[in-house]
A and B are shown apart, each in its own frame.
Chain A
Amino acid sequence: MVTFVVSAVSLAIVFLYGCLGETLMEKAGHLNLGIPGIMCLGTAGGCLGIALYQGMLSDPSKPSWILLILFSIFFSVIFSSFGGSIYALLTVSLRCNQNITGLALTTFGSGLTQLIMDKYVDRSYFDAAGKVISRGFVNNSDAPGILKALLSYGFFVYFGIVLALAATFVLNRTRVGLHLRSIGENPATADAAGINVTLYKYLTIIVGSSIAGLGGLFYTMDYLKGSWENASTIEAFGWMAIALVIFTLWKPNVSILGSIVFGGFYIAAFVLNGSSTQKELLKLLPYVITVVVLIFTSIVKKKGSQAPAALGLSYFREER
């Protein structure tokens, strides 16, 4: 049971980062279908950072925890923001269609990531780095279950949860959050109130992308402890993250729980003793539930649990 919870929570964090980034962007009115690509880019950046750092060490199998974290986050953020900036430039300044821009970004991002990982990232000591990064506060196997369920995770798990809580706080309790939400709901009103819509959108997209990118990094370095499969796995998780945004009704704090539910379904598919058919059925459930949530909210039409009103629309001031 504890193992199940631990793996469910671990995997959940991948979705959490992606969902968090996407939620922020959607709150600013941008449906970013490039999230899968951005999560890939974040992975590539983070791994490149780690490889660079390990390359500088005389003994790459003994990296320092703090430097690993710093290097990986720094490079991951740079790569993710690069992807986010392309998206922002096209959709905010050039007012291009958000859907197709996002899809193009996903194609580009996964391709670039695959190439970088194949050609430029030296992964020979990644298992050592993975072990260090995923090190939890409680590591001995005979610790009580509850402690293990709560404290055996690596830094990125707690960082993700803190970010989600912080995002909730910022969105609901601060001026920046208020302005951000107003842009997603009605950019013309926000503009009339003197808010710099373009600046807010750029910053939100870049910050959101950076957060989402950490999800891919986490999956590779913490969840898989440094082993690399391919970009399409991360891409699939990216789509799941977009589903999760709907499932959690655009609320970052709810997304902590929501991602654990999604993670649970996914893990259950592997640990339960069912037939492989049943496992596939379980993996499908998160999407079905998301559809049900989507339908339900549209029927109930309760304001406040709907997508931001201006989601997906370009804002062109002269057409108010």
Chain B
Amino acid sequence: MMAVQEQKKEKKEPLFHIVRRTDISTKTKAVIYAIAILAGFLISSLICWAFGEDATPIDFFASMFTGAFGTKRLIWLLLQDMALLLGVSVALVPAFKMKFWNLGGNGQVLMGCLASIFCMFYFGDLNNVILIPLMLVASLAAGVLWAAIPGIFKAYFDTNESLFTLMLNYIAQGLVAMFITIWVKSGSGVLSPLSAGNLPEIGGNRYILIIVVLFLLAGLMYCYLRYTKHGYELTVVGESPNTAKYIGINVKAVIIRTLILSGAIAGLVGFFLAAGINHTVSTASANNMGFTAIMTSWLAGFNPLLMFASCFFITFVNRGMQEVRMNFSFENDSISNIVVGIIYFCVIAVSFFITYQVVFRKNETKTKAKEEN
């Protein structure tokens, strides 16, 4: 009702006003995002030109592509990184769909890593046939623990989940640091790779298992959200908690159940990192994927299938930037962060044009009439 106050104000500031879009075609959306991404790359290439040595935009783009696709190994690495990021995004997406802002992906993945390494360290004598399943179970349990705790408190006491999960990230890092001090007597703070409990290579390819499993999982998550009663319930809870109660959904149970699923998948990614890739753990093992995945799943509109695209894109930028860095003698990953940051900004900024519409004065009466009918 009060919106009409706006009407009056416009007499004084007649330039334009903003209305929420009622509809937007997929095509328009795609075009808007494409423009944002292009703009992001363009600004980034110019910045590299300014800061780097002889980094003309053409060289910049060329390096990005060699960095991402230059050799067979690089392509495998790209796919592996993408799969891991996709895994974390898949972990976060059901919670987001429920409007539960899980910022704790890093912590949940890290706990998964820690649990696996814990098993590798203490039960390294066991046969891999026993050890690996044990690690898997431990990782899943650790991830679940780290996600379900804030879920339970959210369900029962409405404890702010963003802040809670954020804190749990640091507690997880602290635990990792602590265990490393126990495991590494030299005081170097670096745990050298363990040989026990490493995942087998399939056909001599150590990337393929992780890639296949996590890609499959993304497909399954799509089905879970789209075709199961659970997925339906969590969407209703996210969209309208009142309606959910009204039709007899147990909101508390749905929140906790969803967070258990979320945590288990994050734990699985942690397991892969520990058993399949790093064979060790550090406070940075999660590689900040918990935060990056927030971006990728948001970009994909919380649709697991579209997340393939967003994860591929972000991974492409990250891997491409490593090449750019080396080619144009940047000392560290600072330039990658700048470029990623700028691309993020561009993509976030255009979300405004997807949700809202700027209406200039002359169209105004028409829109008003539409709204009121």
A contacts, CB < 8 Å to B: 31, 33, 37, 86, 89-90, 94-97, 99-101, 103-105, 107-115, 118-119, 188, 192, 230-231, 239-240, 242-243, 246, 275-277, 279-281, 283-284, 287-288, 290-291, 294-295, 298-299, 307, 312, 316-320
Residues of B within 8 A of A320 (CB): 1-3
Q: B147 at interface (Cβ–Cβ under 8 A)?
A: no
**Any A CB within 8 A of the CB of B200:** no
Q: Mark B148-176, 1 if CB is under 8 A from A, else 0.
A: 00000100011110111011111100110
Interface string of B173-195 (1 = CB under 8 A from A): 01101100110000100000000
Which residue in A89, A290, A295, A316 is a CB contact (below 8 Å) of B153?
A295
Cβ–Cβ < 8 Å partners of A316 in chain B: 18, 20
Let me know if B181 and A101 touch, CB within 8 A.
no
Complex: how many Å from CA A95 to CA B19?
A: 12
Q: Is B123 an interface residue (CB 8 A)?
A: no
**Dominant secondary structure at the B interface:** helix
Q: Tell me the complex Cα distance, A246–B163, Å.
A: 8
Q: Contact: B338 with A112, CB < 8 Å?
A: yes
> Contacts A100-B294, A114-B334, A288-B171; is A312 near B19 (CB within 8 Å)?
no
Asked if B14 lies at the interface with its beta carbon under 8 angstroms from chain A, I say: no
CA of A5 to CA of B332, assembled, Å? 36
Q: Which of B1-39 contact A (CB under 8 A)?
A: 1-3, 5-6, 18-20
Contacts of B160 in A (CB 8 A): 294, 298, 307
| A284 and B175 within 8 A (CB) | yes
B348 contacts A101, C-beta separation under 8 Å: yes
Inter-chain contact B344/A277, CB cutoff 8 Å: no
User: Which residues, 308 to 353 on B, are CB-close (under 8 Å) to A?
Assistant: 330-342, 344-345, 348-349, 351-352
Residue B103 interfacial (CB < 8 Å) = yes
Q: How far is the CA of A246 from the CA of B345 in the complex (A)?
A: 27
Q: Which B residues have a C-beta under 8 Å from some C-beta of A?
A: 1-3, 5-6, 18-20, 51, 101, 103, 153, 157-160, 162-164, 166-171, 174-175, 177-178, 181-182, 187, 291, 294-295, 298, 330-342, 344-345, 348-349, 351-352, 355-356
Q: Check B153–A287 contact: CB distance below 8 A.
A: no
Q: CB-CB < 8 A to A113: which residues of B?
A: 334
Measured CB to CB, the closest approach of chain A to B9, in angstroms, equals 9
By a CB distance below 8 angstroms, the chain A residues around B3 are 317-320
Asked if residues B345 and A111 are in contact (CB atoms below 8 Å), the reply is no
Among B157, B158, B348, contact of A100 (Cβ-Cβ < 8 Å): B348
List the B residue with the shortest CB-CB distance to A118.
Answer: B331
Nearest 6 CB-CB pairs, A to B? A108-B341, A111-B337, A284-B174, A114-B334, A104-B344, A94-B352
* Interface contact A99-B174, CB-CB below 8 Å: no
A90 pairs with B334, CB closer than 8 A: no
Chain B positions within 8 Å of A119 at CB level:
51
Given contacts A111-B336, A320-B2, list 7 more A-B pairs with CB under 8 A: A33-B166, A100-B298, A107-B337, A275-B181, A294-B164, A298-B157, A298-B159
Main secondary structure of the interface of A (DSSP, over half): helix
Q: Which residue of B lies closest to A104 (CB)?
A: B344
Would B164 and A287 count as touching, CB distance under 8 A? no
Alpha-carbon separation in the docked complex, A117 to B134 (Å): 46
- Smallest Cβ distance from A303 to chain B, in angstroms? 14
In the complex, which residues of chain A have a beta carbon less than 8 angstroms from the beta carbon of B298?
97, 100
* B177 in contact with A295 (CB, 8 Å): no
Give the Cβ gap from B110 to chain A, nearest Cβ, in Å. 13
Residue of A with least CB distance to B173? A284
Known contacts A105-B341, A114-B334; is-contact A97 B348 (Cβ 8 Å): yes
Measured between alpha carbons, how far is A266 from B34 in the docked complex, in Å? Answer: 46
Q: A118: which of B162, B187, B332 is its contact (CB, 8 Å)? A: B332
Determine the distance from Cα of A33 to Cα of B351 in the docked complex, in whole angstroms: 19
- Residues of A within 8 Å of B5, CB to CB, are 192, 317
The one of B20, B175, B335 in contact with A111, judged by C-beta atoms closer than 8 angstroms, is B335
Q: How far is the CB of A40 from chain B (nearest CB, A)?
A: 10
Residues of A within 8 A of B332 (CB): 114, 118, 230
CB of B177 within 8 A of CB of A99, answer no
A268 shortest CB reach to chain B, Å: 14
Please measure, in the bound complex, the distance between the C-alpha atom of A320 and the C-alpha atom of B103, giving whole angstroms.
Answer: 28
Please tell me if the beta carbons of A108 and B181 are within 8 angstroms of each other in the complex. no
A291 touches B174 (CB 8 A): no
